Amino acid sequence: MNQECVNLLKKLTSCCSVSGYEAQARDVFLDRCRPFCNQPGSDMMGSGSVLLPATFGGGVLNYDDESETSELYVGNKSKSTVTIKRTISLGNVVQFASPMTKLSKTVYSGRSFDNKVGVVCVYETLKRLSLQEDIPSTIFGLVPSLEEISSAGAITAIQKIKPFIYINIDVFPATLEELGKGVAIEKGPFANNVLSDFLEKIAITNKIKHTIKILSGETETDMDKVMLQNGGIVVASLGIPLVNLHEPNEIIDISDLNSVCDILFLACKSLYEIPDFIPK
């Protein structure tokens, strides 16, 4: 992954972008895409579009004197609930102060890699496609809001864009041993098997590092709701391994993002080769 994308990921993870409050990260994405994308904009749900989807993550603070979260101290590390209430109000948005840190040549730790890494993959793929003279299909880059607490952002955006194909990019909980092995092409009853097999064929033919991840049912991502929109949408999912999911010290191998971008780039150029997407 080039240094530009590493810097973009660092900037995205430094934004305040908990679920439902993703405007800062959305605007960073849109600003980066403006030089080579048409119609960058956002909708009433806060999603940005410029459909290779990615989501944001996080939470909204709520405190309860009797809850187990009373040991979560904000800012001044005070153990006094009264002091905390004087400093912040109900509904204030907070995030852990966990800056992106390089652990080795390609491994990084930090907050909110779920799913800022997906945003970076969308950006890099769109940039590569913009350098091509001929793209056979119209491609939308979508960064939906609210994925962690609903799929409202993705559903409203999909109803507006009305895509035929939706390739979902998200992370999945992994072990340290799974990092650096490439993208996981996810297969199961919800993913269109024609599209999933096509993505796997691209990876094999072009010797792109990848694994196969079997899904027994729903993916617990926007894809589950998107596939039901507009009379049915062809969907597939690419998973990025991530350690310590939803923790302030998530860990990724940046090289896995290369695999995602390589497959997406080649897929967008050649999807027209598939005669139909009726599951076989």
Q: Is 235 helix (H, G, I), strand (E, B) or coil?
A: strand
Counting Cα atoms < 13 Å in the Cβ hemisphere of 51 gives: 30
Tokens 């009373």 label which residue? 70
Question: How confident is the prediction along the chain (280 residues), in pLDDT tens digits per residue?
Answer: 899 999 999 999 999 888 888 899 999 999 999 888 888 889 888 888 884 444 444 334 433 334 344 444 555 555 556 666 667 777 788 778 889 999 999 999 999 999 899 999 999 999 999 888 777 788 889 998 888 888 888 999 899 888 899 999 999 999 999 999 999 999 998 999 999 999 999 999 999 999 999 988 888 888 999 999 988 999 999 999 999 999 999 999 999 999 999 999 999 988 888 888 988 8
- The dihedral sign for the CA sequence 139, 210, 187, 112: negative
pLDDT at res. 58: 36
| Residue-range domain boundaries for the chain | 3-58+95-273, 61-94
Distance, in Å, from the CA atom of 267 to the CA atom of 259, rounded to the nearest integer, reads 12
How remote is the C-alpha of 230 from its chain's centroid?
22
Cβ atoms 159, 222 nearer than 8 A = no
Report how far residue 54's alpha carbon sits from residue 154's, in angstroms, rounded to the nearest whole number. Answer: 9
Query: For domain 3-58+95-273, which CATH number applies: 3.30.360.10, 3.20.20.100, 3.30.70.100, 3.40.630.10?
Result: 3.40.630.10
- Per-residue model confidence (pLDDT) at position 37: 85
pLDDT of residue 65: 39
Helices (H) and strands (E) in the chain, counts: 8, 10
First to last CA, the chain: 35
